[in-house]
Each structure stands twice: as C-alpha cells, then as structure tokens.
Amino acid sequence: MKKYLLSILLLMVVSFSFAQKERPMNLPKLDEQTLHFGYSLGLNTMDFMIRPSDRFLTQAIDTIYGVEVGRFVGFNINIISNFRIAKYLDFRFTPGLVFGQRNLHYKCLKKGDIWRHTMMIESTFIDLPIQFKYKAARISNWRPFLTAGASARIDMASQKKIKPEEYPKIRLRRFDVYYEIGGGVDFFLEYFMFGIELKASWGILNDVVYDGSQYADYFKRLNSRMLIICFNFEGGKLDFIRKHRK
C-alpha cells in the first residue's frame, strides 16, 4: 500500500503547485453552512493482502504453492452529508454502493502436474463510511484537504455455500470493517463545489470463511484492500436549476 500513500501525497503536492490569480470568490457562504449535501462518483481497484498458512505445504495430493491477485477497475456511487464541526473540520457520512472485482489465481501441484485455476470474485458492497475532513484555508477558489475515517461494508454478492465441484472457490465473509485515509482538492465553481479525492482503504477482519476445504486452509489471513478516486459534487445553487428550467 506504500504506492497508494505516495499517490495521495503526490496529489497534495500537485495541488499546492497550482498558481492562481485573484478571482471573485465563488460560493463564499458554503463553508458557513452547518449542513450541506451532494453526491460522489468514483472508480476503484480492489485486491487482497494474503498471508498463507504454515499448514498448506503438508497437503498430500493437491498442493497449493501460490496464490496471486488479479485487479480490475470498478466504480462506486455515494451520497454526501457534510456536517461542519469547526472552521476547518467537517464530519461526513457518505453511504453508497461499491462495485468491483478481484481474481485469485491459484498455482497447484496435482498428481505431479502444475495446475492453474482462477477464482473470479465479483463484489457488490453496501458502503457505510464515516470520515473527518480537515480543510486548509481557501486559496482563491480552491483548497487542499485531508480525510481519515472508517467504513462498514456488506458484500451482497458473497456466497453462502460452495459446492465441492466449484472448488477451488472459497467463501468470503459478508461483513467487513475498513479504516481509510485520503486527500484531495476542492474547487469552488460558480454553482457547486467540485472535489477530487484519492483514498486508500484497508480491511480489518479476516475475509476467509473456513469450511474444511484445503483451498480455504491455505490462507492464514486474507484482508481486503481498496484504492478509490472520487469526484465529489457538493452545495449546488437552486437558482441555477430554476434558471435553466425557464
């Protein structure tokens, strides 16, 4: 996850490098509002942090000697509720849905032959994140920010039971808790605030459900990880909507 953290830091450094001339202040009262709303659209990549069990090399017939993770691009959509705590600190609740996919590529020895198999894992998460947002002072019509928080996620696509003929599939935990850190830049446009946020998310719980199969026993721990880039739209003006209805 070091490269994820470096990406967040790079985003912050790039944001500070923008030079802007003095311009009229857009949405000057937005930060004074106790509560405002919006929505977020984003892209994500998911993977696993794998810790193999010490027991997997003792399997007699079909020995798993390695598992790799294949990553794909997914998407997410969230609703933003932003509560102002202090001048530079907000509390945010952003429920939504996260769609993504990860593959587990098994490398096995089967009766002396090398055998490869891919387990495709498609996930649909109900996402319930809470976070604190620390904002810098506005520089004309933009500002950088940092976020930190946690999220509870429920995977609606997880399987309740794996049939023997479906091995080497494994069952994954339906519920997990993540901690998250991120950063980005808010741009105050004429009619709404547009934000770009990059955040990394680490699962805390072991995702494997041990059902007696050697394919589950291979894993001592299997923790989810996620990298998300969000495009946030907040605090729009009703006057803009009325103007374009006429």
Cα four-point dihedral sign 67, 68, 74, 76: positive
Q: What's the pTM value of the predicted model, to 2 decimals?
A: 0.80
- Report yes or no: 200 and 5 within 8 Å, Cβ to Cβ: yes
* Domain membership flag for residue 21: no
- Report yes or no: 186 and 193 within 8 Å, Cβ to Cβ: yes
- 28 preceded by a cis bond (ω within 30 of 0): no
pLDDT at 239: 42
Rg (CA), the chain: 22
* Domain membership flag for residue 111: yes
* Domain membership flag for residue 97: yes
What range does the domain containing 92 cover? 2-15+43-245
Query: For strand 142-155 and strand 171-172, is the pairing parallel, antiparallel, or unpaired?
Result: unpaired
Better pLDDT: 169 or 222: 222
* Domain membership flag for residue 156: yes
Instruction: Supply the DSSP symbol for 158.
Output: -
Q: How many domains does the chain have?
A: 1
Backbone angles phi, psi at 60, to 5 degrees: -80, -40
196-209 pLDDT tens trace: 999 999 999 999 98
* Domain membership flag for residue 29: no
Amino acid at 104: L
Please, what is the average pLDDT of the chain?
Answer: 83
186-245 pLDDT tens trace: 999 988 999 999 999 999 999 998 877 777 888 889 999 999 999 999 986 544 444 445
Instruction: Supply the DSSP symbol for 219.
Output: E
* Domain membership flag for residue 31: no
**CATH number of the structural domain spanning residue 152:** 2.40.160
